[in-house]
Structure 1
Amino acid sequence: MEQQATDIIVATRAALAQASALAVQYSFSILGAMVLLVLGWFLSRILHRWALTGLSHVRGIDATLAHFFANILRYAVLVLVFVTVLGQFGVQTASIIAALGAAGLAIGLALQGTLQNIAAGIMLLVLRPFRVGEYIETKDVSGTITEVGLFATELRTSDGLYRLAPNSTLWNTPVTNYSRERTRKHDLQVKVPNDRDIDDEIDRLLSIAKQDPMIESVPPPQVFVDSLEESAAILTLRYWVSTPQWFKTTREMNRRVRIAFGQKPGGPEPDAAPAE
Structure 2
Amino acid sequence: MKSDKNAIAINLTEAAVTWLQNHLFSIAGAFAVLVIGLILARLLSKWADRMLRASPRFDPTVADFLSSLVKYGLYALVLATVLAQFGVETTSILAVLGSMGLAVGLALQGTLSNVASGVMILTQRPFKVGEAIQAGPISGVVQEIGLFTTELKQFDGLFLLVPNSELWSHPITNFHRHPVRRFELIVGIGYGDSMEQARNELVALAKADNRVLAEPEPVAFVNSLDDSSVGVGLRVWCETADYLNLSWDLTEAVKARFDEVGLTIPFPQREVITRVAG
TM-score norm. by structure 2 comes to 0.80
Alignment correspondent of 2:179: 182
Are the aligned partners of 1:258 and 1:274 in contact in 2 as well (CA < 8 Å)? no
Q: Pick from 46, 55, 59: which aligns with 2:43?
A: 46
Alignment correspondent of 1:71: 68
Question: In structure 2, do the counterparts of structure 1 residues 37 and 13 end up closer, same or farther at CA, with 3 Å as the change threshold?
Answer: closer
Q: Pick from 67, 82, 86: which aligns with 2:83?
A: 86
Residue 223 of structure 1: SS of its match in structure 2? strand
Distance 1:229 1:17 in 2: 104
Alignment correspondent of 1:256: 253
Question: In structure 2, do the counterparts of structure 1 residues 192 and 89 end up closer, same or farther at CA, with 3 Å as the change threshold?
Answer: same
Range with bigger deviation, 42-51 or 25-34: 25-34
Which consecutive residues of structure 2, in runs of 5 or more, have no partner in the other structure? 269-278
Residue identity matched to 1:62: D
Distance 1:21 1:99 in 2: 32
Task: Compute the displacement of 1:162 (Å).
Answer: 1.8
Question: In structure 2, do the counterparts of structure 1 residues 203 and 147 end up closer, same or farther at CA, with 3 Å as the change threshold?
Answer: same
Counterparts of 1:144-223 in structure 2 under 5 Å?
144-194=141-191, 196-223=193-220
Residue 72 of structure 1: SS of its match in structure 2? helix
Residue 92 of structure 2: SS of its match in structure 1? helix
Are the aligned partners of 1:191 and 1:275 in contact in 2 as well (CA < 8 Å)? no
Which consecutive residues of structure 1, in runs of 5 or more, have no partner in the other structure? 264-268
Are the aligned partners of 1:184 and 1:246 in contact in 2 as well (CA < 8 Å)? yes
Distance 1:194 1:13 in 2: 115
Residue-by-residue CA offset, 1:185-226 (whole Å, 9 max, x unaligned): 222233334554443332222111011121121211111122
Alignment correspondent of 2:129: 132
- CA-based RMSD of the aligned residues comes to 3.4
Are the aligned partners of 2:190 and 2:230 in contact in 1 as well (CA < 8 Å)? yes
Alignment correspondent of 2:264: 272
Distance 1:274 1:165 in 2: 44
Task: Compute the displacement of 1:10 (Å).
Answer: 10
Alignment correspondent of 2:116: 119
Alignment correspondent of 1:102: 99
Residue identity matched to 1:244: A
1:60 and 2:57 aligned: yes
Question: In structure 2, do the counterparts of structure 1 residues 23 and 205 end up closer, same or farther at CA, with 3 Å as the change threshold?
Answer: same
Residue 180 of structure 1: SS of its match in structure 2? coil
Task: Compute the displacement of 1:100 (Å).
Answer: 1.0
Distance 2:83 2:266 in 1: 80
Distance 2:65 2:6 in 1: 62
Distance 1:58 1:47 in 2: 17
TM-score norm. by structure 1 comes to 0.80
Distance 2:133 2:222 in 1: 32
